[in-house]
Amino acid sequence: MKKLLFLALLSFNSLAQTCLGDVTETANDEEFTVNTDGTATHISSGLMWMRCSIGQTYSADSCIGEADELNWQQALDEAHGFTYAGHSGWRVPNLKELATLTERACVRPAIDESVFPDTLSDDYWTSTPSVLDTDRAWVVAFFNSSNALKEKSLFVYTRLVRTVD
């Protein structure tokens, strides 16, 4: 029984992204200017995004290495003073900003992989804390583009954003 469960989990985790053709795309690559420095700029909002998660390195249209799992305070601290691609002013995005990256026509991950390669099908921190519970903050799940409150002490992935000058 344990072996069967392990095989089921192994095959579930190795599934490729699935997109539905009859669902309107919500965050396709036409909405972004993909820069050669590992960043992408959302055209309508003017926000510049790291194409990779914190801990990964961008190279040849892919993200290399393991993404760092940080608790909420570590994610905020990591962003403070962060320099990437010659730019400063990086920060953890708020809930509304990060949700704009979700591609609701796709799952595992729910994001445009041509713009944001190697995104994990997991939770990513936002800077938005819970209004009712000081121990929790909002995350966006790139498994299925949902969002939820998580304990700030949990270790979650992070992608940073900056406002273009």
Q: pTM for the complete prediction? A: 0.84
Residue-range definition of the domain harbouring residue 104: 2-163
Report in angstroms the alpha-carbon separations of 30 from 43, 110, 112: 9, 16, 10
Amino acid 102: pLDDT: 87
Could you say which DSSP state residue 157 is in? B
Amino acid 82: pLDDT: 96
- Over residues 73-87, the mean pLDDT reads 97
Amino acid 24: pLDDT: 67
Amino acid 124: pLDDT: 97
Determine the 3-state secondary structure of 42 from DSSP. Answer: strand
CATH code of residue 30: 3.10.100
Nearest C-alpha neighbor of 137 from the set 100, 95, 78, 128: 128
- The mean of the pLDDT values for the chain is 87
Number of domains in the chain: 1
Which range has highest mean pLDDT (74-78, 113-117, 119-123)? 74-78
Determine the 3-state secondary structure of 94 from DSSP. Answer: coil
- Over residues 99-121, the mean pLDDT reads 86
Q: pLDDT band at residue 107, thresholds of 50, 70 and 90?
A: confident
Number of CB atoms found within 10 A of residue 14's CB? 8
Query: Would the pLDDT of 6 be above 80?
Result: no
From 8-12, 18-22, 68-72, 143-147, the region with the lowest mean pLDDT: 8-12
Helices (H), 30-160: 72-79, 95-99
Which residue type, as a one-letter code, is found at position 17?
Q
Lookup: tokens for 106 = 């796709």
Lookup: tokens for 131 = 């209004």
Estimate to the nearest angstrom the gap between the alpha carbon of 16 and the chain centroid.
Answer: 17
Amino acid 27: pLDDT: 63
